Amino acid sequence: MADTGANPNSGNESDEENRKVKKLKGEPKGDRGENGEETNLSDFKPTSVLRDSARDKTIFVHGELKEQPAVVVLEKTPFGEDTLTEMFKGAKTNLEVKNDIYSTYVFQPPAHLNEIKATVVCPATEAHVQKYQRKEIIMVEETEDDYKNITLPYITSKGLSVTWVYNILEKKAEKERIIFEDSDKELGFVLLPDFKWDQKQVDDLYLIAIVHKRDIKSLRDLTPDHVQLLQNIYQKGTDAIVQRYGLPTNKLRVYVLYQPSYYHFHVHFNALSYEVPGSGVERAHLLQDIIQNLKSNPQYYKTRTLLFPMRTDDELISMYKAAGRL
């Protein structure tokens, strides 16, 4: 849910932040936030670039918005096939290089077809700034004892809020964004778009299934008692995607992240053609594999050593070092 812009391998970034942001597209129009105040990015005063990525076409900027510290993530939106004709007809082009059959141009589409997605975190704390800065990442080997003695106490002591998740489940927030729900309290879940997806095309489809059960923090809590829940998420989640978006199950990537970005169990659904940051083998566990593992070994996720990437400045890394595990 679902981490736009944060490096998915950067630790425990919170999707709560993504749901507090104000998302502005195209030319600034102003957007009314939860406090009723109008937000306009023309008021943003950049002070430093925290990180940029030429590959992902994103830049992370620190600055001030209406005298409050803020982080703005700018991301080029994907091309829409249905607007290509209009784009080429209305574009301005300037030739840069021509050599035999090859030419390079500066291509300027019409403004309304040249959108940039802006994700705003405001007010941003120092923790937000640190989160978005480029940092060294290392792999952590977490044994059963490590989880019990280091990771779980960390989760418990931090008291990481998932109130925003409960607000979704209780329809206090984002009700209109839910595309499917199974309301069963044991087997049910809600399915809604991740904020990283602009919902303009299925090529980069990204949805999150959030379970109604509130006693599953992560992969580590799963037992054979949860197999029916996981199967239900997979079957009904993929069915809903087929019916609404026409994307068949064999073109979907369905997985769970460890460590997760927030500690309420949720499942990611992506278009297989979309190379989602953070969905690599070092962090993602396919849902079908999880089901099979639990069927073959009831204690699989209780006892297995799990590896995951983590930023070297993360507090959890400090706890592993203090315990002599790094």
pLDDT digits (tens, 9 = 90+) for 220-246: 999 999 999 999 999 999 999 999 999
**Which domains are seen in the chain, by residue range?**
44-132 (3.30.200.40), 137-323 (3.30.428.10)
Structure-block tokens of residue 172: 């206090």
pLDDT for res 103: 92
Query: Beta-strand (E) ranges in the chain?
Result: 22-25, 31-32, 38-39, 44-53, 58-65, 68-76, 92-99, 102-108, 116-121, 137-142, 180-182, 189-193, 206-211, 252-257, 266-271, 284-286, 306-311
pLDDT for res 131: 78
Residue bearing tokens 């073109």:
251
pLDDT for res 39: 65
Report the candidate in 161, 158, 209, 251 with the shortest Cα–Cα distance to residue 1. 209
Walking along the chain (326 residues) 10 residues at a time, the average pLDDT comes out as: 37 46 39 52 90 84 92 87 90 90 91 87 85 85 97 87 92 94 97 89 94 96 98 98 96 96 96 86 96 97 95 90 92
Residues 245 and 251: beta-carbon distance below 8 Å: no
pLDDT for res 38: 56
pTM of the full structure: 0.70
pLDDT for res 115: 85
Radius of gyration of the chain, Cα coordinates, nearest whole angstrom: 21
pLDDT digits (tens, 9 = 90+) for 301-323: 999 999 999 988 888 999 999 99
Task: Answer yes or no: 264 catalytic.
Answer: no
Q: 227-245 vs 287-296: helix axis angle to the nearest 10?
A: 160
Cα–Cα separations (whole angstroms), residue 108 to 57, 264, 304: 16, 43, 53
N- to C-terminal Cα separation, the chain: 30
* Choice among 62, 264, 266, 268 that is catalytic: 266
